[in-house]
Structure 1
């Protein structure tokens, strides 16, 4: 199962997330659920870094990937991260045994 953990601040803005696990709906490299999640997450990261020019903390290892904003979220980072969440939520609805999303406040 892919686990998505979102962090929100007191204003309910997403400040970061972590992703771990594997959907296991197909062999590694052929799993459309993993590919969809990866595409959404990577697009959000590139949008924040390359398009908006915002600084982030990014860590990736065998367990998964963690991203957190450096500085306060704004409406532009919020638009990217909330759009990522919309896509992830739709995948989780289609594949509830493969994707689980949680949110917590920092």
Structure 2
């Protein structure tokens, strides 16, 4: 199962997320849940970097582990863009979870 933890500040801003595990929906190269979750998360991180110039702290390991931490002490306009992109990521991941909940779980802290 893919486990995703979205960490928010007290004001609701996304400050980091962690993704780990494998969906186990299908064999290697055919797992649409893994492919979808990976495309959504990496796409969001790449969009943050490309569209805002903000570089998150990224930790990536084998076995499907990805941790991204986003700076909060940035100009308001950049922060709004970062948050919008990350909220879009969450909506997309929730859609995958709704349809494939046996293979992906999102928690919020």
Superposed CA deviations along residues 42-61 of structure 1, whole A, max 9, x for unmatched, are 11100111221002100001
The runs of at least 4 consecutive aligned structure 1 residues that moved more than 3 Å come to none
- State how many pairs are aligned: 104
Unmatched 5+ residue regions in structure 1?
Answer: none
Greater strand fraction, Structure 1 or Structure 2: 1
Unmatched 5+ residue regions in structure 2?
Answer: none
Q: Does 1:71 align with 2:101?
A: no
In the superposition, the TM-score normalised over structure 2's length comes to 0.90
In 2, are the aligned partners of 1:15 and 1:72 still within 8 Å (CA)? no
RMSD value, Cα:
1.2
In the superposition, the TM-score normalised over structure 1's length comes to 0.93
CA positional deviation for 1:70: 2.3
In 2, are the aligned partners of 1:4 and 1:100 still within 8 Å (CA)? yes
Partner of 1:27: 27
